Amino acid sequence: MTNILIINGSILAENGWVDPGFLCIREGKIRQIGAGTPSPGQIDEAKEVLDARHCAILPGLTNAHTHLSQTFMRGLAGGRTLIDWLKDVIWPIQAVISPEEMYLAALLGLVENLRCGAIRVTDHHKITGTPAHTNEVLKAAREVSLRFTLARSWSDRGKNPESLENILSDFRRLFDLSRDDDHIEIANGPLALWRCSEGALQATHQLVLEHGAFTHFHVSESQDEVQMSLDEYDLRPVEWLETIGVLGPDTQIVHAVWVDDDEIKLIADANAQVIHCPVSNAVLGSGVAPVAQMLGHGVDILLGTDGPASNDTQDIWETLKGAVNFARATSLNPTILPPSQALKLATGGKTLRVNDPADVIVVNLDHSRVVPVQDINSALVLGTHGSDVQTVIVGGEILMKNGNIAIVDEKALYDECRDAIQSLRKRAEIS
């Protein structure tokens, strides 16, 4: 394992910024964080020395919700409501996408996340029809080597329902497949409440809990969904989840745009997490999640770009800035999410610590959007783009160095993706 020394940067450490500082990585872990410069001996010993002058050195970021296959569905949301967009574009493409196309789409999406410094990615893997599709996504994830959660989606109601027996058996297969891979986790990914039955939600949640995993699903993204829940159960969605026993510390509520104050209290009391996707919610005209109220109740919030079909990028920095601005605009309160607190939404509250796995990114702060840097948190939260991420290290392995990714031939990948989309659109009858 490479012995890496990163020098001259501003390091986000446990007790605050170390500036300038150096960080030493050995055998996959952070071994030392120091102020100033390392000794000449340490520099000589290192196999790799990365100069991070005018850069921030951060823990890798978390993109807690995306749909990687949607890299092949970018740019098609315009002018449709959420439900029409699903019916006219997303579901027709999902119905015909081949395993090979799924692999290319996932690989492209993972490369984009890597370039933006998102080293923990949760792919809410939509209904695919065959285990071969899921296997191809896992193959792409292994190649790129980020820390990857596959939230395997399912639906046992509505169009093309899957049997509970099949869903549970595929979950067992996936847990077996990923058992020895410390970069890959499996999670329960019910598609949306109105497409899932009470019994199947309970059974899948129970199964993943037995494997130390969690349930991750879209909840209250649009007002229509809330109305459907009220019509069918006479309860709002989060109230219904609480009633059926699927709301707890191992539950991730994605979106939560249309949750009322009582539902926010239920989420907080259950220690469930909210995955906030402000850019996607804005693109689809779904609304703005009540982040200020959630923070007021102590709800744990992570960020997600959501899939490229509704964003259209997976730049987690853009989502971070959107989260701050929308929360302030809707609460009429500029003190919500000060930059140092906002940054935690993207890092998952992590800092760089000695003896932790070396999941580290280096972000360039030597450009016209942030110079002169007077507050590093502001520069990162309000002035940084994904393309400013220079270097990405996961578990001590350099996946991107000074903007170069060695593990994937990006130009060849882009050509393959451009070719594949022509055939896919024809088969899905998207004009």
Give the ranges where 179-220 is alpha helix by DSSP (H): 198-210
Longest dimension (CA), the chain: 70
Task: Write b or e for each residue in 275-292: b if 16 or more Cβ atoms lie within 10 A of its Cβ, otherwise e.
Answer: bbbbbbbebbebbbbbbb
- At its nearest, how many Å lie between Zn ion and the CB of residue 420? 22
Positions in the binding site for Zn ion (CB under 5 A): 306
- At its nearest, how many Å lie between Zn ion and the CB of residue 151? 10
CB atoms under 10 Å from CB of 404, counted, come to 10
- At its nearest, how many Å lie between Zn ion and the CB of residue 266? 21
CB atoms under 10 Å from CB of 261, counted, come to 11
- At its nearest, how many Å lie between Zn ion and the CB of residue 352? 30
Nearer of residues 85 and 326 to Zn ion, judged by Cβ: 85
Nearer of residues 115 and 125 to Zn ion, judged by Cβ: 125
Nearer of residues 306 and 312 to Zn ion, judged by Cβ: 306
- Tell the residue number behind the tokens 């001259």, with chain if given: 8
Radius of gyration of the chain (CA): 21
Closest residue to Zn ion, judged by C-beta, is: 306
- At its nearest, how many Å lie between Zn ion and the CB of residue 430? 20
Nearer of residues 64 and 393 to Zn ion, judged by Cβ: 64
- At its nearest, how many Å lie between Zn ion and the CB of residue 275? 9
Nearer of residues 9 and 109 to Zn ion, judged by Cβ: 109
Nearer of residues 305 and 331 to Zn ion, judged by Cβ: 305
Tell me how long the chain is.
431
Q: Based on the number of CB atoms within 10 Å of its own CB, is 333 exposed (0-12), middle (13-18) or buried (19 or more)?
A: exposed
Q: Based on the number of CB atoms within 10 Å of its own CB, is 413 exposed (0-12), middle (13-18) or buried (19 or more)?
A: middle
Picking from 122, 127, 126, the residue whose alpha carbon sits closest to that of residue 141 is 122
> Angle at the Cα of 341 (from 57 to 308), degrees rounded to 5?
75
